[in-house]
Chains A and B, each alone.
Chain A
Amino acid sequence: MNAAARVARPALIDSAWLLVGPAVLFLLMLFVYPFLYGFALSFQPLEGGRLANYQNFFADSRAWRTLVTTFGLALPVTVINVGLALPIAFRLRRRTRYQRWITALLVVPITLGTVLIADGMLTYFGPRGWLAQTLQLVHLYDGPIRLTHNYWGVLISLVISGFPFAFLLLLSYVTGIDPVLARAAATLGANRFNQFRHIYLPLLAPGLAITFCLAFVQAFSVFPSAVLVGAPSGSTRVISIAAYEAAFENYDYAMASTIAMIMGFAQLIVVAAVLALRRAFYRGPVSGGKG
């Protein structure tokens, strides 16, 4: 039998499905089904009409304030992480002998869990921690230092754990841009600032948008550090704590699902906004020719 005849006979199942199938099944079972289940559950409150849970959430200031608190943490953290990662990744875009070491060093926090980071922070940033003792020893600052069990503790913890992600993502985007483009811009009269402003920044915009979204979603779902180094009943009572309380302290799964849905929707709005902004920028290849 020749090759043409073999190709002409259609396969019963496209072999691609065999590869994609398990992943699709996995996704359906572990994400789509629980999501739809939770979505449906959120409209079946323990008492009241179908929308009672949503009405209660936005009527109860203790509940809706968690949304504000979470935004108040996640947005600054994302801006700090992306804002720090961008210049550092940009500086490290050229392959040097040091690049590998610096990258490795910056990425170390990724390997630590949130709990380990929290533990370290309590020893280091606590009222009698190393930082406070050192500052008092050299009389730089003698007042009380409160960087744990409050807003700042959670913020620092989220920066430590979130920065490596933002950095690694941006590094791969930055190194993907052909450096010849900046050199071409230089021969045309662009100084370093203009090379960044007109070449790197627009070509990085899609990468920045994705990094911002991922960093934001990661920070928005903060839970352990809000409890361990924050003030979980006060200034860092984030939305995931409210959901946890509803589910495992009040045993109101419907309300917990409602809070989870609101949380997801809030993230979706930010992601959609950022991606819409990204559409305004160029999205295409980041090299200067076919070569």
Chain B
Amino acid sequence: MPHDFKQLRLDRVSRRFLNPSGAITTAVDALSATIPRGEFVALLGPSGCGKSTVLNCIAGLLPLSDGSIFLDDQRIDVLPPERRGFGMVFQNYALFPHMSVRANVGFGLRMRGTPAAEAARRIAKAFALVQLEGHEDKLPGQLSGGQQQRVAIARAIVIEPPLLLMDEPLSNLDAKLRLEMRGEIRRIHRELGRSTIYVTHDQDEAISLADRIVVLQDGRVQQIASPQEVYAQPANVDVARFMGYRNVLDLKVEKTSGDYVVVSGDGVRLTGTIKQPLDGARAWAAIRPEEMTVGTGGVNVIDGKIENVEYGGRDSLIDVRTGSGLLLHARTPGKPTPGETVQLTVPPERVLVYPHGGAP
């Protein structure tokens, strides 16, 4: 297996399952993507969107129903997992419970018949990289969750795989450890420069780690873009909703001029930016709570009464009910109290308007 490659190319990869009931479920539908060498790519999507299926297909743990996978010009989807040589980190770590931590890390080298001296050197290097020196002779069960995760990463990188696959590696850790390990994973990627495909349902994780994000929903690619773009310019209303645009309003299109559009309904009237060509009389307007602030200035002003306050340290998340009964989420650094009347404002650039096609 070449350790140096230019790109991994997924060409219309599909994976269908036969349900016990006899119906066919499409977990991944004609997914195409190209991943250049050295890049950190996050597969992001809600649970059940097919992201783990994609990863298992790349690793060779699941056969494709359709399509193909190429590493440069070599077709690899026909190879068994042991001949692809991609390192994989599993959600529940999948450490071999009967082997010492050292034997776990050395397993891939043992399978490759690496000479003992060379193996020992590489194992020691891997332990140093994940900062687990001194734990080599323990059994996995004697380590904490975070340490087990480090062992799993060391085990995957010691074979120097062309591609590192990670399947929600942090979802079993507590919040503090998750943040810490996130930094570790970023550091390891920087030090090794290894291409990484990282599956997660946590948009913060994807944004902070990845060079590029592939947003999946219902087995289809919704958007492939940089973290900045996915965060600020979601490709469609589903991606927006998933990326934390908690205010998604169903409004009537009044008039459009260039990129701007005026939408109204339920007692609110907003000027927003068109993100996708509008196709009818109605549209979705998506706004992040942190971009809807308490204030009086600007084009878009909404009056309402605070219903609920969630204190968040630096600022508070407030639920505001408008006169017509619409519930909006906003953030404010002030000291809001429930029952208070407030005026919310949001710049037209941050009101993203999408066509109404499909369900909310």
Contact = CB atoms under 8 A, between A and B. Distances in A.
Contacts of A291: 91-93, 172
B94 A288 contact: yes
In this complex, the interface size class of chain A, counting residues with CB under 8 Å from chain B, is 20 to 34
Given A183-B81, A187-B87, A189-B82, A282 B159 contact: no
Which among B84, B98, B108, B155 has the highest number of chain A CB atoms within 10 Å? B98
Interface stretch (A163-171, A191-199, A247-255, A260-268): A191-199
A184 B90 contact: yes
A289 to B, nearest CB: 4
Contacts of A289: 90, 92-95, 140, 145, 148, 172
Nearest to B112: A189
Contacts of B139: 284
Interface string B56-68: 0001110000000
Given A189-B85, A191-B82, A284 B90 contact: no
A187 B139 CA distance: 21
Given A183-B94, A282-B98, A287-B97, A189 B159 contact: yes
A187 B81 contact: yes
Which among B59, B82, B141 has the highest number of chain A CB atoms within 10 Å? B82
A290 interface: yes
A202 interface: yes
A204 to B, nearest CB: 10
Contact of A188 (B61, B155, B165, B172): B155
If over half of A's interface residues share one DSSP class (helix, strand or loop), that class is named, otherwise mixed; here it is loop
Contact of B61 (A178, A181, A186, A190): A186
B40 interface: no
Nearest to A205: B98
A235 B123 CA distance: 59
Interface in A250-287: 281-282, 284-287
A180 B112 CA distance: 20
Contacts of A184: 88, 90, 94-96
B96 A199 contact: yes
B93 A183 contact: no
Contacts of B80: 186, 191
27 contacts: A181-B94, A181-B97, A183-B81, A184-B88, A185-B96, A186-B60, A187-B60, A187-B156, A188-B111, A188-B155, A188-B156, A189-B82, A190-B111, A191-B80, A198-B107, A203-B98, A281-B98, A282-B98, A288-B90, A288-B94, A288-B97, A288-B140, A289-B90, A289-B95, A289-B172, A290-B92, A291-B93
- List 5 tightest A-B contacts by C-beta distance, closest first: A291-B92, A282-B98, A188-B108, A189-B111, A289-B93
B198 interface: no
Contacts of B20: 97
B86 interface: yes
A127 to B, nearest CB: 49
Nearest to B61: A183
Contacts of B96: 181, 184-185, 198-199, 288
Interface of B: 20, 59-61, 80-82, 84-88, 90-98, 107-108, 111-112, 139-141, 145, 148, 155-156, 159, 165, 172
Which among A186, A187, A189, A281 has the highest number of chain B CB atoms within 10 Å? A187
Nearest to A189: B111
Contacts of B98: 202-203, 281-282, 284
A172 B167 CA distance: 28
B97 to A, nearest CB: 5
Contact of B59 (A187, A285, A286): A187
Given A188-B107, A189-B159, A287 B92 contact: yes
A180 B166 CA distance: 14
Contacts of A199: 96
A180 B92 contact: yes
A190 B99 CA distance: 15
Contacts of B61: 183, 186-187
A189 B82 CA distance: 4
Contact of A187 (B86, B112, B141, B145): B86
Contacts of B172: 289-291
Given A188-B87, A291-B91, 12 more contacts: A178-B94, A184-B95, A184-B96, A185-B111, A187-B81, A191-B82, A202-B98, A203-B97, A203-B98, A281-B98, A284-B139, A289-B92
A282 B159 CA distance: 26
Contacts of B59: 187
Contacts of B84: 187
A197 to B, nearest CB: 11
A287 to B, nearest CB: 7
Contact of B145 (A178, A183, A290): A290
Nearest to B165: A187
A203 B165 CA distance: 26
Nearest to A188: B108
Contacts of B155: 188
